[in-house]
Chain A
Amino acid sequence: MKTTYIMQKEIRESILTPKGFLWYILASIILSVLSYLFLTNSELSLLDQGQMLYMIMNFITALGLLMGLVFGADAFAGEIERGTLEALFISPVNKTEIAIGKLGAALTNWWIIFVISLPYLFVVGKGGQNLLTGIVYLAILGTLLPLSFPPFPWDFQRG
């Protein structure tokens, strides 16, 4: 339950902010430009749908990773810099609960990017055989990526 409160705080602090929304709008613009190029550019449109899907999925994964790293780094370094982490440590919450709460927020960020990217995936991969498989792989890969972020949660446990 304490993990949920920490996760809610993190979501409000990093995702539901003007900066957070700006990141998502930027992600939508990049994906729109990319999809448009895939479908209209004479050279890119020669690629088969499987290749197009693979390329756009790479972009989505990179975007998720980049945003996850920005939010993840701020979740720890930002709290240390602002002096808010000590008050959390004084509370009866163990470090694993804090780390899992923050990890939950990083995953929420990924799932938002994933949902934003779904229409683009459908447009680019429309009619292709690999579309659904690709979406499932992307969902799994993006969910696993935050687990490998430096602050989560194993290094934090030693600190």
Chain B
Amino acid sequence: MIVNVDNLVKRYNDYTALDGLNFDVREGDIFGFLGPNGAGKTTTIRILTGIIKADSGNILINGYDIFREPMAVKEIINALPESNGYYEWMTAREYLKFFSNLYEEEMSGQEIDSLLEAVGLHGKEGHLIRSYSRGMKQRLGIARALINKPKLLFLDEPTNGLDPKGRRDIHDLLIDLNRKQGTTVFLSTHLLDDVERLCNRIAIINYGKIVRAGEVKKGTIEDIFFLSTKEGAL
């Protein structure tokens, strides 16, 4: 297992966002993490990526405890948060160079250009990010999330606000990453057709608890989702 989450609890004052969360992700999966708005998806990702701390529970990522060895975990993961912002005064090249320096990857200009080409930003490398469309920024965010060649990639609603072509391109890129480089993808979304197309396993979260987890059978996601998340399903 590349991710092992055990009895994770997170509270914001009186509100319990995660209420004893348990699930596993296998290496090589494209793992769909589903749930209605406010179910706790983003909180889970923020804890798994070390952005915030949990109140209790254990998380092992590739055998490392995220709370005790956060730097070891951050070297092998990367993520595209839901509301990822950009340094809009930088060019795409400068943006990736800055983050590659933080990973001490020392990417050459050629490597940066190939990465940008891989996400479909060929010819736009020297443009200021402020001139990019939402879809282009999302692609740049994915390029940023690939600079350390992560073993595990967290994506929080990566296709939100994209047109059909943008969505298709990102789907193809994720499938390619998973098949060719063996990257495990943890995909948080509420777009069920994204899950149907991409994921081999899913977990559904509602009110901070996993209500369903398992393999994906084509054509059944919508039924499973509504059965699992309707009021009283717990």
Quick check: is B51 within 8 A (CB to CB) of the other chain?
yes
**What's the nearest-Cβ distance from chain A to residue B89, in Å?**
7
Quick check: is B163 within 8 A (CB to CB) of the other chain?
no
Quick check: is B75 within 8 A (CB to CB) of the other chain?
yes
Cβ-defined contact, B85 with A92, below 8 A? no
Q: Which residues of B contact A96 (CB under 8 A)?
A: none
A90 and B216 CA atoms in complex are apart in Å by 29
Interface size class of A (residues with CB under 8 A): 20 to 34
Cβ-defined contact, B79 with A84, below 8 A? no
Tell me how many residue pairs across A and B have CB atoms closer than 8 Å: 61
A87 and B102 CA atoms in complex are apart in Å by 11
A93 and B71 CA atoms in complex are apart in Å by 8
Interface size class of B (residues with CB under 8 A): 20 to 34
Cβ-defined contact, B98 with A9, below 8 A? yes
Q: Which residues of A contact B51 (CB under 8 A)?
A: 86, 89-90
Q: Which residues of A contact B99 (CB under 8 A)?
A: 87, 91
Q: Which residues of B contact A130 (CB under 8 A)?
A: none
Cβ-defined contact, B102 with A92, below 8 A? yes
Query: B71 is contacted by which of A12, A88, A92 (Cβ under 8 Å)?
Result: A92
Cβ-defined contact, A86 with B84, below 8 A? yes
Q: Which residues of B contact A86 (CB under 8 A)?
A: 46, 51, 81, 83-85
Residues in B lying within 8 Å of A, measured CB to CB: 46, 49-51, 70-71, 74-75, 77-79, 81, 83-87, 89, 98-99, 101-104, 144
Residues in A lying within 8 Å of B, measured CB to CB: 1-2, 5-6, 9, 12-13, 17, 79, 82-94
A-B contact pairs, 13 of them (CB 8 A): A2-B102, A2-B104, A9-B87, A12-B89, A17-B89, A83-B84, A83-B85, A86-B46, A87-B85, A89-B50, A90-B51, A92-B74, A94-B71
